Structure 1
Amino acid sequence: MTAAREWTLDGHAGRLAGRTWTGGSPSHVVLLAHGYGEHTGRYEHVAAALVDAGAVVTAVDHVGHGKSEGDRVVVADFERVVDDLHAVDEQARAQHPGLPVVLIGHSMGGLIAARYAQRHGGSLAAVVLSGPLVGEWGGAALLDLPEMPDTPLDSTTLSRDPEVGRAYEADPLVWHGPFQRPTIEAIARALLRVQDGPSLGALPLMWAHGEGDRLVPMAGSRSGVEHLRGEHYVEKIYPGAQHEIFNETNRDEVLADVVAFIRNALRR
């Protein structure tokens, strides 16, 4: 049975809130990076599948997200968010010495994970990018507008399962307001940093994406993934799936694919 423990940690702009899921005797650590406007609590079922496969899973609410401190969904510099994630990584390694660490990032968390892997890839065993915000992203066009549109993220773009959208709308820890200009500016800078940074070389990389993703379209992400991919690369594209593939109608298939990739990467 998966047990979750909540904790806090000092981040670059205040206290960070996170949680760790454990089961029996883990063989590896999985570090999770969530997406824009959401929080770690939306990954309970993901963590359960990973724990069942031998992981201890740890995740943090990024600055301004979920239960962490900071202005809501305001990220001034993603390099500092990578620093925060590194502190979480170091904490997990101290608690589970000697275990290999796998990094999974979804959406904006995929951008964070990609940059993390460029900076700290030598310490990782594998990386999984789910609907990652890398490469070319049309959302940066919002910066050309005089004001950010006063509209929240469209929850119908998350999954073909309507219950996912309903739960998202009802979640008080999810941000239901408009995009924040400083965050969009920081995303634009981070996208350029990733493109200017190195490939992941020998670090195993899995790219998983919904073919019907309207929030982070697959074609835009591909250019970023092609830049990152190295010697050991797995690609999984799910026909018809929307943005949150871990919450899609075929979520069991997606999670099984991720577990299989991690298992193979750890055998190397």
Structure 2
Amino acid sequence: MAQSREHTFSGTRDRITARVWPNERPRYVAVLVHGYGEHIGRYEYVADRLVRHGAAVYGPDHMGHGRSEGDRVLIEDFEDVVTDVHTVERLGRADHPGVPVVVIGHSMGGLIAARYAQRHGAGLAALVLSGPVIGSWAIVPELLAYEEPPGTPIDPATLSRDLSVGTAYAADPLVWHGPFKRATLEAFATTLATIAGSGTFGSLPTLWVHGEADELVPIAGSRPGVEAVRGADLTERVYPGARHEVFNETNKDEVLDDVTAFVDRALSRAS
């Protein structure tokens, strides 16, 4: 696996820890945006594939997640998270001036990446959305119906057909295994509406990958959201039988081959 180092900075609300997988002469900078309750350390395999493909890889633990500071899984405004990710992008650009940037977001990270593209897409070479929380996510209104959201732990078996992925997830001390915070659910609802009303990605090359059997973020809820923001250059890949974490699925190499081939096409168009 590619070696990595940590970098910390003052985020919009709390101190943020980011991880960097360096590449001395990268063809592009990849910014990884992780999902709800997890952390960037779960993306070692993805980062290794991207480094071998020619990327320098950067990714933060969001506020309240992983090694970053803040109340656990408390996000009151996703615009703050987008701003923190932009700080990470600027770090990558400072390390590698003039190198194109690709943003890759999974699940909640797909929500963040989609909003990121609306705010900062003019500076990106490509966007990848994996199982994105976009459009509608039924769990948000369901849990907001309660004054105090009940505990709804994620069933690790829904992550991947490779059950070792769920086992590792359940045993990971940096993963949040408790209930949603109400303020975080409200922030999800606000940002889903903001994305829907803030225009398309324009000409930004976008790849949408999703597991056909995703029970955590069902494709039927995400599709209207993707259609609402898609620009002129959308590529879609739906993997039969795959569950939520397509980057950790039994066919993860097929998925990552699709990602790297897409990035190659996007970079060739930009050159």
TM band (smaller chain)? over 0.9
Residue 24 of structure 1, CA deviation: 4.7
Q: Cα RMSD between the aligned structures?
A: 0.9
Residue in 2 aligned with 1:89?
A: 89
In the alignment, is residue 99 of structure 1 matched against residue 99 of structure 2? yes
In the alignment, is residue 122 of structure 1 matched against residue 151 of structure 2? no
Give, in whole Å, the separation in 2 of the partners of 1:81 and 1:137. 19
What amino acid maps onto 2:136 in structure 1? E
Superposition pairs of residues 2-151 of structure 1, within 5 angstroms: 2-140=2-140, 141-151=142-152
Task: Say which SS state the counterpart of residue 174 (structure 2) adopts.
Answer: coil
Give, in whole Å, the separation in 2 of the partners of 1:147 and 1:10. 31
Give, in whole Å, the separation in 2 of the partners of 1:199 and 1:101. 19
The answer to whether the 8 A contact 1:18-1:60 is kept is yes
The answer to whether the 8 A contact 1:2-1:23 is kept is no
Residue in 1 aligned with 2:203?
A: 202
Q: 150-159 or 105-114, which moves further after superposition?
A: 150-159
Task: Say which SS state the counterpart of residue 3 (structure 1) adopts.
Answer: coil
Task: Say which SS state the counterpart of residue 161 (structure 2) adopts.
Answer: coil
Residue 151 of structure 1, CA deviation: 3.3
Task: Say which SS state the counterpart of residue 137 (structure 1) adopts.
Answer: coil
Residue in 2 aligned with 1:256?
A: 257
The answer to whether the 8 A contact 1:18-1:61 is kept is yes
Superposition pairs of residues 136-175 of structure 1, within 5 angstroms: 136-140=136-140, 141-175=142-176
Give, in whole Å, the separation in 2 of the partners of 1:252 and 1:228. 28
Residue in 2 aligned with 1:216?
A: 217
Structure 2: segments with no counterpart, 5+ residues: none
Give, in whole Å, the separation in 2 of the partners of 1:159 and 1:267. 33
Residue in 1 aligned with 2:179?
A: 178
Give, in whole Å, the separation in 2 of the partners of 1:211 and 1:202. 27
Residue 27 of structure 1, CA deviation: 0.8
Give, in whole Å, the separation in 2 of the partners of 1:114 and 1:160. 27
Residue 228 of structure 1, CA deviation: 1.5
Between Structure 1 and Structure 2, how many residues are aligned? 268
Give, in whole Å, the separation in 2 of the partners of 1:97 and 1:171. 36
What amino acid maps onto 1:263 in structure 2? D
Residue 147 of structure 1, CA deviation: 2.3
What amino acid maps onto 1:5 in structure 2? R
> What do residues 197-248 of structure 1 show as CA deviations (whole Å, max 9, x unaligned)?
1100100000000000001000110011111211111000000100000000
Aligned CA distance change for structure 1 residues 86 and 23 (closer, same or farther; 3 Å): closer
Give, in whole Å, the separation in 1 of the partners of 2:268 and 2:45. 25
Residue 146 of structure 1, CA deviation: 3.0
Give TM-score scaled by structure 2 length: 0.97
Residue 76 of structure 1, CA deviation: 0.3
The answer to whether the 8 A contact 1:50-1:259 is kept is yes
Task: Say which SS state the counterpart of residue 136 (structure 1) adopts.
Answer: coil
The answer to whether the 8 A contact 1:103-1:126 is kept is yes
Q: 179-188 or 16-25, which moves further after superposition?
A: 16-25
The answer to whether the 8 A contact 1:18-1:59 is kept is yes
The answer to whether the 8 A contact 1:153-1:178 is kept is no
Give, in whole Å, the separation in 2 of the partners of 1:239 and 1:145. 35
Q: 86-95 or 205-214, which moves further after superposition?
A: 86-95
Give, in whole Å, the separation in 1 of the partners of 2:98 and 2:46. 23
Give, in whole Å, the separation in 2 of the partners of 1:46 and 1:7. 19
Give, in whole Å, the separation in 2 of the partners of 1:83 and 1:122. 15
Residue 156 of structure 1, CA deviation: 1.3
Q: 140-149 or 2-11, which moves further after superposition?
A: 140-149
Q: Percent identity?
A: 59
Task: Say which SS state the counterpart of residue 102 (structure 2) adopts.
Answer: strand
What amino acid maps onto 1:169 in structure 2? A
The answer to whether the 8 A contact 1:127-1:205 is kept is yes
